């Protein structure tokens, strides 16, 4: 298979499947020309690679200049995403992302896993970046207790969770919420993390002391 054929294969696979595990794309990460060819193929349809060194999966996202066209809603408005998620599901996605990805990223930066807290920092710096699945998990009942009232109650809360699971942002299993393939690659860490770290999560979601309004569907 030529590099051109492989690049087309990768690009079409990413578009059709929405994500591919990083291990299946080692050749792309080791070959700058192959990666450039993949990026050129994606660019012809207004897409670009969505990945980073901490992510297990590679996906694609809309290039910024195409966002107004892709995200317009035919009513002069602007949709929050092209995933078909409701407003409530998008708000819950932000909360889950903050609770899973932020602590996970801190462990990755420090090269720690949940099992090796307290090890010598010099030794940690020599370790590879941990990327194993399920570094951080959530208890769905605890999340329900904390946020159900803001989402209109238990029924709506679990409806939004189901939306996120169908979109593969999360995996639900035996009362636990795990990171899905898309959670760490399609949410813009550079933008969202700073807003959350700076205390803007409540403002982003409309959770403030002046308003007790529930999140609409």
- Judgement on whether residues 137 and 168 belong to the same structural domain of the protein: yes
Q: Give me the pLDDT at residue 77, please.
A: 53
Determine, yes or no, domain membership for 211: no
Between 30-34, 181-185, 198-202, the lowest mean confidence (pLDDT) is in 198-202
Determine, yes or no, domain membership for 216: no
Determine, yes or no, domain membership for 214: no
Residues 56/133, Cβ–Cβ less than 8 Å: yes
* Residue 63 domain boundaries: 3-71
Determine, yes or no, domain membership for 196: yes
pLDDT tens across 4-16, in order? 999 999 999 999 9
User: Two tokens at 185?
Assistant: 């690659």
How many distinct structural domains can be found in the chain?
2
Question: What SS3 state is found at 51?
Answer: coil
Q: Give me the pLDDT at residue 31, please.
A: 96
- Judgement on whether residues 63 and 94 belong to the same structural domain of the protein: no
- Judgement on whether residues 156 and 115 belong to the same structural domain of the protein: yes
Determine, yes or no, domain membership for 147: yes
Measured distance CA(102)–CA(94) in Å, rounded: 11
Determine, yes or no, domain membership for 217: no
Question: What SS3 state is found at 176?
Answer: strand
Determine, yes or no, domain membership for 180: yes
Q: Which helix (H) or strand (E) holds 191?
A: helix 189-197
**In which band, very low, low, confident or very high, does the pLDDT at 29 lie, cut at 50, 70 and 90?**
very high
Phi-psi region of 153 (alpha: psi -120 to 50; beta: other; left: phi over 0): left
- Judgement on whether residues 94 and 62 belong to the same structural domain of the protein: no
Q: Reading across the β-sheet that carries 47-50, which strands appear in turn?
A: 19-21, 57-62, 47-50
CA count, 13 A, side-chain hemisphere, 101: 27
Q: What share of the chain is helix, strand, coil (3-state, %, to 5)?
A: 50, 10, 35
pLDDT tens across 83-129, in order? 678 888 988 998 999 889 888 888 888 777 666 655 555 445 555 65
Task: Using only the alpha carbons of the chain, give its radius of gyration.
Answer: 19
- Judgement on whether residues 167 and 95 belong to the same structural domain of the protein: yes
**Rounded (5°) CA angle 193-197-203:** 90
- Judgement on whether residues 8 and 107 belong to the same structural domain of the protein: no
- Judgement on whether residues 102 and 182 belong to the same structural domain of the protein: yes
- Judgement on whether residues 191 and 91 belong to the same structural domain of the protein: yes
- Judgement on whether residues 116 and 56 belong to the same structural domain of the protein: no
Determine, yes or no, domain membership for 149: yes
């Amino acid at each position: 298979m030529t590099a051109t054929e492989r690049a087309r294969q990768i690009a079409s696979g990413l578009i059709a499947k929405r994500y591919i595990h990083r291990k299946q794309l080692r050749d792309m990460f080791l070959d700058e020309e192959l990666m450039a060819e993949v990026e050129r193929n994606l660019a012809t349809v207004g897409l670009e690679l969505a990945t980073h060194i901490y992510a297990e999966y590679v996906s694609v996202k809309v290039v910024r200049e195409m966002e107004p066209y892709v995200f317009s809603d035919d009513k002069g408005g602007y949709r929050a995403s092209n995933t078909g998620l409701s407003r409530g599901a998008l708000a819950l996605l932000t909360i889950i992302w903050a609770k899973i990805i932020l602590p996970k990223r801190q462990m990755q930066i420090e090269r720690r896993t949940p099992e090796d807290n307290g090890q010598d920092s010099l030794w940690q710096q020599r370790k590879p970046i941990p990327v194993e699945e399920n570094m951080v998990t959530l208890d769905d009942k605890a999340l329900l207790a904390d946020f159900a009232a803001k989402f209109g109650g238990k029924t709506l809360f679990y409806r939004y969770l189901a939306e996120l699971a169908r979109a593969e942002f999360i995996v639900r299993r035996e009362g636990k919420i795990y990171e899905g393939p898309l959670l760490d690659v399609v949410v813009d860490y550079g933008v969202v993390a700073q807003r959350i770290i700076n205390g803007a999560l409540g403002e982003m979601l409309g959770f403030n002391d002046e308003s007790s309004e529930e999140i609409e569907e």
